[in-house]
Amino acid sequence: MDNKIEKYQKIIEEFLTLEANDRQYPDIELQVVTDTKHNHYQLAEVGWDDKYYVYRILFHLDIKPDGKVWLAANNTDVLVAEELVKRGIPASDIVLGFQPPYVRPHTGFAVA
């Protein structure tokens, strides 16, 4: 299980880093936030857009102890789950946590 979790950690960190590098805005910092001890991962925007302060979580993912990757938030048009599958995480290990439990069986991904 640990090897699987370590593999998923690397895939998620690489995905978030690439997304951060692709999104460059003046005066807004893209922060890849990783907590490998508790397996929480986020990409956040922090800074200023003209006279408005920006703090927004673009992506939030967690790896649960059973090795499932839970997508808790996706505030973009990027198909995160599909990107993770392309990078080597099977759909059977990805849970769309932001979808209600009764919808998950119809998503093509894990239910929990």
What is the token pair recorded at 19? 């997304």
Q: What is the pLDDT, as a whole number, of residue 24?
A: 84
How many domains are contained in the chain?
Answer: 1
Residue 14 lies in a domain: yes
pLDDT mean by block of 10 residues, the chain; 112 residues: 92 97 91 97 96 97 97 97 98 97 96 93
3-class SS string, the chain: CHHHHHHHHHHHHHHHHHHHHHCCECCEEEEEEEECCCCEEEEEEEEEECCEEEEEEEEEEEECCCCCEEEEEECCCCCHHHHHHHCCCCHHHEECCCCCCCCHHHCCCECC
In a domain, 97, yes or no: yes
Residue 111: inside a domain: no
Give the CATH number, domain containing residue 100: 3.30.310.110
| Domain carrying residue 66 | 2-106
**45 belongs to a structural domain:** yes
Q: Which residues of 22-33 are buried (b: 16+ CB within 10 A; e: fewer)?
A: eeeeeeeebebe
Q: Does residue 100 sit within a domain?
A: yes
Q: Is residue 58 part of a domain?
A: yes
Structural domain contains residue 25: yes
pTM of the model: 0.93
What confidence score (pLDDT) does residue 2 get?
75
Residue-level pLDDT at 30: 96
Nearest CA to 41 out of 29, 50, 51, 33 is that of 33
Q: Which residue is associated with the tokens 């590098």?
A: 21
Cβ proximity of 109 and 86 under 8 Å: no
